[in-house]
């Protein structure tokens, strides 16, 4: 898959009293990037619930925090599909800050997303049309 990049500005509300991004906010940044990745493929999550009866939930994740992001920095959050299962997607994601001609990886990890039946919240197969689209991106 081609890497999808979503820019995010660090706002004051994202930081602690020292002006450093609070660790849990990296997860929010990654969630936004995954949502925008799906949107770029033509899939809205509310429409997947209404039309296909499925929703996505984080199943597991591993993250490495490497360097701090700070107030007012413009970050790039990347999304790359690493693995496709019958009812799950594994994403490799990074949060980076570009300074001049160098890019600094601030946070990197893998996020496993489970496809769930919206009614029962039990695992279910990824809708074929979504599966076709993400498979063609690889």
16 part of the active site: yes
pLDDT in tens, 40-93: 999 999 999 999 999 999 999 999 999 999 999 999 999 999 999 999 999 999
Cα separation, 55 vs 89, in Å, equals 12
pTM (2 d.p.) = 0.93
Question: Alpha carbon of 64 to those of 17, 34, 46, 129: distances in Å?
Answer: 22, 18, 31, 33
> By the 8 A CB rule, do 22 and 68 touch?
no
Mean local confidence (pLDDT), 23-34: 97
Residue of 16, 46, 64, 101 marked catalytic: 16
């Amino acid at each position: 898959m081609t890497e999808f990049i979503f820019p995010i500005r660090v706002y004051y509300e994202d930081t602690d009293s020292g002006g450093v991004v609070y660790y849990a906010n990296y997860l929010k940044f990654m969630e936004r990037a995954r949502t925008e990745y799906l949107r770029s493929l033509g899939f809205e999550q509310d429409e997947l619930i209404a039309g296909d009866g499925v929703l996505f939930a984080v199943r597991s994740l591993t993250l490495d925090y490497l360097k701090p992001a700070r107030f007012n920095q413009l970050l790039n959050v990347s999304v790359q599909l690493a693995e496709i299962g019958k009812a799950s997607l594994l994403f490799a994601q990074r949060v980076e800050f570009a300074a001049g001609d160098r890019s600094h990886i601030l946070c990197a990890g893998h996020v496993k997303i489970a496809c769930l039946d919206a009614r029962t919240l039990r695992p279910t197969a990824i809708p074929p049309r979504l599966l076709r689209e993400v498979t063609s991106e690889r």
